[in-house]
Amino acid sequence: MSAPSKEAPKVTHGDPLFELAEKIYVQLAARVYGNLAGGDVKKPDPKALAAYCFKLAAAFDAAARETDTAKATIEAANKAKVRLDEVDLSGVFGDVKK
């Protein structure tokens, strides 16, 4: 039996936050590590830059959920849900004889 892995679970490309963070990372890395960035400027660690990109993606996602359009969409979806715990079915099963 193998020992449990100490690594964090891998995030896949199906995760929208991963994809957004990846796009941000590619753009920032091109600017930070590209030839146009000054040679005398200290450049951040790539892992730190990636972590920053995930924070930016999460903040963007949180802000997007606070827009009026997103709130209206969430409210409409909540109204459309059927909550079985709030439905009175006693009239349907009223006089069931065994």
Higher-scoring residue by pLDDT: 35, 29: 29
Residue 8 scores a pLDDT above 70 = no
Q: Is the pLDDT at 12 greater than 80, yes or no?
A: no
pLDDT higher than 70, residue 95: no
Q: Is 28 exposed, middle or buried (0-12, 13-18, 19+ CB in 10 A)?
A: middle
Q: Determine the 3-state secondary structure of 90 from DSSP.
A: coil
**pLDDT band, residue 83 (cuts 50/70/90):** confident
- pTM value is 0.61
Average pLDDT over residues 36-45: 76
> Token pair of 10, please?
């891998």
Tokens standing for residue 38: 């000054």
